[in-house]
Copies of this chain bind each other. A is one copy, B any other.
Amino acid sequence: MHQTVPLYLRMLRLLRDEGAISRAELADKLAVPRPRLLAELERLVATGYVAEAGMAASRGGRRSTLVELNPHLRFAAVDLGASSIDVEVTNGRLEPVTAYAEPADIRTGPRAILQRVNELLAKAKSDGAYERLDAIGIGVPGPVSFRDGVPVSPPIMPGWDRFPVREFLTREHGCPAVVDNDVNIMAIGERHGGVAHSVDDFLFVKIGTGIGCGIHLFGEVYRGTDGCAGDIGHIQVDSHGPVCSCGNVGCLEAMFSGAALAREAAAAARSGASPALAERLASSGAVTARDVAEGASEGDITCIKLIRDGGRRLGGVLASLVSFANPSMIVIGGGLAQLGHILLAEIRSVVYRRSLPLATGNLPVVLSELGPRAGVTGAAVLASDVAFEQAAS
């Protein structure tokens, strides 16, 4: 059974999501008696989480003072990809104060990567983005034991298995930290500030180097028994398909992902099937998913076909998941979301044709609104949640 959300957490989250607010309005929105609210508020002001913020506009009677989150609150949000580091420092309202993004190979191992994260955070500090951090949220591209704050058997992260990521960051920065899977933080981000705003049951499908799915049910992330729920990249879509990095054959991500698409694009360039890709291969020596997207936008038939074939395969898997989970929304994000509306049209066509009409009657299948910022946004949400929980004491 779920825990109740205590009042102080509900207050802090409301101030995070809606900004400065009068005491009267706060009591209304939280539906708690005013004396109880005021007592709790006083405690939060004393602990430094909440601050006075001037006078509210009159509601007829005595003017009430506004309260807001302490403007000095700072969260660090980190999104580690297979080949990238994104770091943001945000204020209490999760607005970015500063941000850095750079390429990095996750396979260089936890010490090198987390050391680089520390350097970027040190740079933010010396640039005046913060004096001290209140919490850190970090997403990694593999399964995570959320409770223990460690990656668990992550296939594409050699050296990271059970590395104490949370402990490492907590010790370095003297604040709480929280570790989650990269797709989960994207789903959390999209629910906080994107297209899935306030949707309780939805799937966030990330199509990048690999394919994964963030699952939001009953209004929260569902992580599964071992922290690996949403691992849809290794669902078999063709029993005669190519061998996948996992050792099985015909996995979804062996057929359609950044890596698979680049491979197929190179073949199409070499065989002469696609003039657009052949040209790009000749000029830069390699072709990527981005080249396929550009080729498609120029009307190259082979590029369009590659995207549609991929969309059809992903759509087949999503149709099964819609039958199973009956979600309210499917959000498509990650690097390959740049394939855009051709991809979306194909996915929709398969999902709407294959799933139970009752489940698809009101089911939007849409692109991520936050795009590359979905991950850091979700990491900031997690950081704020863990910081706010400390306010109990």
Question: A interface vs B, CB < 8 Å?
Answer: 1-5, 143, 152-153, 201, 213, 215, 217-220, 222-232, 234-236, 246, 248, 316-317, 319-321, 323-328, 353-359, 361-363
Contacts and interface: CB of A to CB of B under 8 A. Distances in A.
17 contacts: A4-B4, A201-B224, A201-B225, A213-B324, A217-B217, A218-B220, A222-B325, A224-B325, A225-B362, A227-B326, A229-B324, A230-B324, A231-B324, A232-B320, A232-B323, A236-B316, A324-B324
A323 B5 contact: no
B354 A236 contact: yes
Copies of this protein in the assembly total 2
Contact of A358 (B143, B213, B326): B143
B359 A231 contact: yes
Contacts of A152: 358
A87 to B, nearest CB: 28
Contact of A356 (B222, B228, B328, B362): B228
Contacts of A327: 224-225
Contact of A320 (B217, B219, B317): B317
Contacts of A231: 323-324, 326, 356, 359
A323 to B, nearest CB: 5
The A contact surface, by secondary structure, is: loop
A235 B351 CA distance: 11
A1 B354 contact: no
A234 B356 CA distance: 8
A2 B226 CA distance: 22
Nearest to A327: B225
A182 to B, nearest CB: 16
Contacts of A354: 234, 236, 248
A150 B265 CA distance: 51
A252 to B, nearest CB: 9
A213 B317 CA distance: 17
Contact of A357 (B153, B218, B356): B153
A234 B143 contact: no
A324 B2 contact: no
A326 B224 contact: yes
A319 to B, nearest CB: 7
Q: With a 10 A CB-CB cut-off, give which of A2, A213, A361 has the most chain B CB atoms.
A: A2
A197 to B, nearest CB: 15
Contacts of A357: 153
Given A226-B358, A231-B323, 19 more contacts: A1-B219, A2-B2, A2-B219, A3-B4, A201-B224, A201-B225, A215-B324, A223-B326, A224-B325, A224-B326, A225-B359, A226-B359, A226-B361, A228-B356, A231-B324, A231-B356, A232-B323, A320-B320, A324-B325
A224 to B, nearest CB: 3
A324 B232 contact: yes
A146 to B, nearest CB: 12
A32 to B, nearest CB: 14
Contacts of A235: 319-320, 323-324
